Structure 1
Amino acid sequence: MKDVTPQTALQAQILDAYAFRHAAKVFDPGRKIPEDEFNTILETGRLSPTSFGLEPWQMLVVQSPEKRALLEPMSWGANGIVSGTEGQLKTASHFVIFLSHTSATMAADSAYLPKFLREVKGFPEENITGLLGAYAQFQAEHFDLTDDRKITDWARHQSYIALGNMMTTAALMGIDSCPIEGFEMDALSAVLEAEFDVDPTLLKPAVMAAFGYRASPPRHPQSRRSMDEAVRWV
């Protein structure tokens, strides 16, 4: 019998969490995630890596039922219409909207970036100049981040790193989650501006996520491609 070491036990715990996780379409509305546990989930998002360390996203946690109701008309992936349930907006313990920065703050020549590098990262001026020069080259030459849509999409991609880490953390704690892209971008932006004081020139909705405890077991077993199909070694 193979010895169980602390490392192999940890590996099994990680894989068990991934097997447990599924995209929960409806949650048990009577169960709430303890505050300290959800703060741990948020903290793993906050500590997640981002390109150039620029953290080009903001998390908006929507807990008010009245505020959540405002999101339902344009959030078909969270209002239960597709799944034939009450949906995540009505039932989730916690509901998060990731907002991505735009070119107003993420363009290489923005006033925001040197301030961020100075005040958040604590970089000296000579390092700020060098980093912004490399970042400008990255935007213009390497990734073609040359207009607001491209920069906003790049920032949006960064939020998925934090989201993935948060869902894994939740699963390790026996908490369910669901990533949600099912929303109308322009309509959601308009509601966020009018009702949530979100300036659309600075922040755009990137992706949503619901957290809580499943109301029932998954309808279908988890299925994925085989390792041989998903991974190529060279």
Structure 2
Amino acid sequence: MQAKKDEILKAHAYRRAIKEFEPEQKITNEDFEFILEVGRHSPSSFGWEPWKFVVVQNKDLREKLSGPSWGAQKQLASASHFVVLLARKGDEMRAGSEYLKYKSQQIDKLPAEVEEMKVGFFKNFMENEFDLTDDRKIFDWACKQVYLPFANMMTAAAQIGIDSCPIEGFDRAKVEELLAAEGVVDTKRLGVAAMVAFGYRKEDSPFPQSRFPMEEVVDWVN
């Protein structure tokens, strides 16, 4: 057990936000499928899984994305795999939507009375507890859910020696416009939450990883 703990902490300590990857060193299909599978198994509020992952391997599309993605210039050019993480928009996530019906009935296979109860709880949560009352608030909430598989995929990658870089440095409207024009994303239903690049670092960072000490991060209430 201690060996496993040490292995996990070592992976986290080694992980960096890599700005440039070794372009000739590619992740195997088996390893990348593992990373995606970890993302797929991630938890979400109410179990709605309000996400989709687009793996962009097309070089022409990557080059086009580099225009509105100022924070991903070197990563788009050098990463072995580049993922755009999408979150579902307002109409998709409102109680009674076709997406939530599909998830409840076809994926979760809930009995009708359980589905009705769950959707009722969710509607109350949205309208009365979390103030998810307009399209932007709902989308932002869905983006928060996307960060669960987002983080899990990077952690899983680090544990098998694969580097990554989380990216928020982009013009969301322009990226969505581009992806819609390319026929990649239906932007009426999905919006861009974040991006993440995977590969193998070109060189080690000259700066050691720094974090707040535990006593500044954690408060205990006993």
Q: Same fold (TM over 0.5)?
A: yes
Alpha-carbon displacement from aligned partner over 1:177-230 (angstroms, at most 9, x marks no partner): 000000001111100110143121100000000000000001311001000001
Residue 123 (structure 1) aligned with residue 117 (structure 2): no
* Aligned equivalent of 2:9: 15
Please point out which of 128, 139, 145 is paired with 1:141: 128
Please point out which of 171, 178, 186 is paired with 2:165: 178
Residue 168 (structure 1) aligned with residue 155 (structure 2): yes
**Structure-1 separation of matches of 2:121 and 2:206:** 49
C-alpha deviation, 1:112, in angstroms: 2.1
Q: TM-score, normalised by structure 1?
A: 0.93
Please point out which of 54, 66, 77 is paired with 1:72: 66
**Structure-2 separation of matches of 1:91 and 1:65:** 10
* SS of equivalent residue, structure 2 residue 119: helix
Residue 63 (structure 1) aligned with residue 26 (structure 2): no
Q: Kindly tell me the number of residue pairs found equivalent between the two proteins.
A: 221
**Structure-2 separation of matches of 1:118 and 1:219:** 52
Residue 38 (structure 1) aligned with residue 32 (structure 2): yes
Amino-acid identity (%): 47
Q: Which runs of 5+ in 2 are unaligned?
A: none
C-alpha deviation, 1:111, in angstroms: 2.4
* Aligned equivalent of 2:79: 92
C-alpha deviation, 1:144, in angstroms: 0.4
Letter in 1 for 2:25: R
* Aligned equivalent of 1:4: none
Please point out which of 68, 90, 93 is paired with 1:103: 90
Query: Runs in 1 of length 4+ with deviation above 4 angstroms?
Result: none
**Structure-1 separation of matches of 2:102 and 2:152:** 27
Q: Give the 5 Å matches for 1:189-228.
A: 189-228=176-215
Alpha-carbon displacement from aligned partner over 1:20-77 (angstroms, at most 9, x marks no partner): 1000000000000010000000000000000100000100000011110110010001
**Structure-2 separation of matches of 1:28 and 1:196:** 30
C-alpha deviation, 1:160, in angstroms: 0.5
**Structure-1 separation of matches of 2:139 and 2:55:** 21
Letter in 2 for 1:104: D
C-alpha deviation, 1:115, in angstroms: 2.1
Q: TM-score, normalised by structure 2?
A: 0.98
Residue 153 (structure 1) aligned with residue 140 (structure 2): yes
